[in-house]
Amino acid sequence: AQSVTQPDIHITVSEGASLELRCNYSYGATPYLFWYVQSPGQGLQLLLKYFSGDTLVQGIKGFEAEFKRSQSSFNLRKPSVHWSDAAEYFCAVGRISGGYNKLIFGAGTRLAVHP
C-alpha cells in the first residue's frame, strides 16, 4: 500500500537558518509528489510539485525539493527561513486509483521559527 512518512512532527529553527523537512514515500511506480503548506487557520497551499525530469524542483516562497528515487525521498529545503514560514507542511503522493485522482498525505511537520 502507498504511504507517506514525515519523520519529524515538530521542528524549530532560528530565523535566517537553513531548513530541511523530510519526506519518505512508499509507492511502486513513478510517483507524483507534492508539498503543501498550511498557515494557521488557513487551507493548504501548493508549494511545489514533481512529476518527472529534473529531480530538483523549485517552488514558491523560495522553497525547493529534491526527488531521490534510490532513497524514496522528496525532502523540502529552504536556504534561509523567515518568520512568516512558521506553518505546517504536508508531503503528498498523487496517483490514479479507481479512476480518480488520489492524494495520500503525510501526517505533517509543524515548523516554528525563533526570532
Partner 1 sequence: NAGVTQTPKFQVLKTGQSMTLQCAQDMNHNSMYWYRQDPGMGLRLIYYSASEGTTDKGEVPNGYNVSRLNKREFSLRLESAAPSQTSVYFCASIEGPRGNQPQHFGDGTRLSIL
* Site residues (vs partner 1, CB under 8 A): 4, 9, 32, 34, 36, 41-46, 49, 51, 90, 94-96, 98-103, 105-108
Closest separation in Å from C-beta 15 to partner 1 = 26
| Nearer Cβ to partner 1 (70/96) | 96
SS3 at position 4: strand
Rounded CA separation 6/19 (Å): 14
What are the backbone angles phi and psi of residue 54, rounded to the nearest 5°? Answer: -55, 125
Closest separation in Å from C-beta 6 to partner 1 = 8
